[in-house]
Amino acid sequence: MALRHKNNTSEFKKQRLKVLARDNRVCQYCGAEDANHVDHVVPKVAGGGDELDNLLTSCKKCNLLKGRKSLAFFLGSTSAPTVSPDLLSPVRAGSSLVGPFEGQARPSWN
């Protein structure tokens, strides 16, 4: 069962702060520093929850561009920023917190 919070609850605010710290406030889509938004990898409307592995840090621009799109659709769209493979790696975050792609095989970017 997906963990769900209303966006203004203290529980979600705690999750948000954990994600921002885990990702060092770097947008996981474009690499912009000092990002302060948290995006759902699987949108809530598609059944995504507020678990740490479904949340990542994004800048305002990327968060608005992605909206309710799936990650695959967003990254395949012409409006999507160029994403560095290192940014989507949980290894880059250097934290013990679970990342959005924890446990998945690292893709080949050749």
Rounded Cα distance between 97 and 90, Å, is 9
CATH of 10-86, one of 2.60.40, 1.10.10, 3.10.100, 1.10.30: 1.10.30
Q: Is the pLDDT confidence value at 95 over 50? A: no
pTM: 0.62
Closest by CA to 56, choosing from 81, 96, 87, is 87
pLDDT digits (tens, 9 = 90+) for 69-82: 777 777 776 555 65
Which DSSP symbol is given to 44?
Answer: G
pLDDT digits (tens, 9 = 90+) for 12-34: 899 999 999 999 999 998 899 99
Q: Report domain extents, the chain.
A: 10-86
Which residues lie closer than 8 Å to 41 by C-beta, 6 or more apart?
48, 53, 54, 55, 56, 71, 100
